[in-house]
């Protein structure tokens, strides 16, 4: 068993090393790829401000930010206006009335308004590294989706970031993050922007299966439309993974990039988290896997011609 796994590592490392130059050549041809960055948020304007600052410092600039706002009643609108005026971001604010946790619904409404061919998903409490959009574009492939994640900050580190100044490049340094109160862990390995190092790490940790993670994943807009977007019958818990399973049921497999593309996930509580809802979500996800469901009929296409505050309907499965 050990010999076999060691052989797999050696083969994969050699493969990735040989494709590094090809990746660079492909990226040079993609500088004109327009991207829609969909940022989900709800009453966390201070976090959203940090996220928008992070997006304003991106090395790749050809993108529009779509704020999927699940009914915020705080000063989120002011932060978005600040993002346009002070940060120079191209922003679209998609909002609906607060009727409880309806993240999947507002994400679908945002997806319907994306006009760019490629879509990146980012949670409104995850500060992106400065190469965030660049690396998503660099790794994008037809018929694939990008799987990545974030470093989950401890409460002390998150509080210090909120209290202090913000410099994206410094935040993603080893010493700076440690000085903010983030204890050392293997997640520090994600703090590198080397294509070679990241691909070696993704190979060494090959047992980490690529999954669609709503806080940091991307795919082609056409593929989102094909599967029907997010399942609005689902509340909090695995709603992003279920969408990923439908992508995979359509032959759209994930590319693991957890050690290349990352963000800093701000500490917060989850009062909306319910074990009952998570259990129901798990049943839906299990059915999607078992029955190889490829799409749901109620999808983001319906929002293209409907007002934002359109009546909700239950999704129907499509064989």
Give the helix ranges, DSSP H, for the chain.
2-28, 45-56, 76-85, 103-113, 132-139, 155-163, 168-171, 174-179, 195-204, 221-227, 239-249, 275-290
Q: Can you list the residues of the chain whose pLDDT is less than 50? A: 2-3, 5, 8-11, 13-22, 24-28, 299, 307-319
Q: Give the pLDDT confidence score for residue 301 in this predicted structure.
A: 57
CATH number at residue 251: 3.90.550.10
Token pair of 296, please?
């749901």
Q: Which domain holds residue 226?
A: 2-318
Q: Note whether 235 and 279 are within 8 A (CB).
A: no
111-115 — which CB contacts under 8 Å span 24+ positions?
A: 111/38, 111/221, 111/224, 111/225, 111/229, 111/300, 111/303, 112/300, 112/301, 112/302, 112/303, 112/304, 113/66, 113/303, 114/36, 114/38, 114/64, 114/66, 114/221, 115/36, 115/64
Q: Tell me, what's the pLDDT at 192?
A: 75
Considering the chain, what is the average pLDDT of its residues? 83
- What's the pLDDT score for residue 177? 85
**Could you give the number of structural domains in the chain?**
1
pLDDT digits (tens, 9 = 90+) for 222-236: 999 999 999 999 888
pLDDT of residue 195: 73
The Cα 153–Cα 170 span in angstroms is 15
Q: What is the DSSP letter of 131?
A: T
């Amino acid at each position: 068993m050990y010999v076999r796994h060691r052989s797999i590592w050696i083969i994969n490392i050699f493969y990735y090393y040989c494709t590094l130059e090809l990746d660079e050549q492909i990226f040079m041809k993609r500088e004109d790829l327009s991207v829609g960055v969909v940022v989900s948020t709800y009453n966390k304007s201070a976090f959203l401000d940090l996220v928008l600052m992070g997006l304003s410092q991106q090395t790749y600039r050809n993108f529009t930010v779509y704020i999927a706002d699940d009914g915020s009643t705080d000063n989120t609108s002011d932060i978005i206006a600040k993002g346009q005026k002070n940060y120079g971001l191209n922003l679209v604010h998609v909002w609906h009335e607060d009727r409880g946790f309806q993240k999947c619904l507002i994400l679908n409404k945002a997806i319907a308004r994306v006009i760019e061919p490629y879509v990146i998903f980012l949670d409104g409490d995850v500060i992106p590294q400065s190469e965030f959009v660049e690396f998503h574009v660099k790794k994008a492939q037809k018929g694939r989706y990008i799987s990545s994640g974030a470093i989950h900050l401890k409460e002390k580190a998150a509080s210090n970031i909120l209290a202090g100044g913000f410099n994206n490049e410094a935040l993603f340094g080893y010493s700076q993050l440690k000085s903010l109160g983030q204890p050392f862990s293997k997640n520090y390995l994600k703090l590198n922007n080397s294509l070679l190092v990241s691909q070696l790490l993704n190979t060494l940790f090959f047992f980490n299966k690529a999954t669609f993670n709503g806080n940091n994943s991307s795919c082609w807009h056409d593929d989102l439309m094909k599967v029907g977007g997010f399942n609005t019958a689902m509340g909090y818990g695995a709603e992003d993974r279920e969408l990923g399973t439908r992508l995979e049921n359509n032959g759209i497999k994930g590319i693991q990039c957890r050690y290349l593309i990352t963000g800093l996930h701000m500490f917060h509580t989850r009062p909306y988290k319910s074990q009952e809802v998570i259990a129901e979500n798990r049943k839906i996800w299990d059915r999607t896997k078992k029955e190889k469901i490829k799409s749901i009929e109620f999808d983001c296409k319906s929002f293209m011609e409907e007002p934002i505050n359109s009546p909700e309907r239950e999704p129907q499965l499509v064989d």
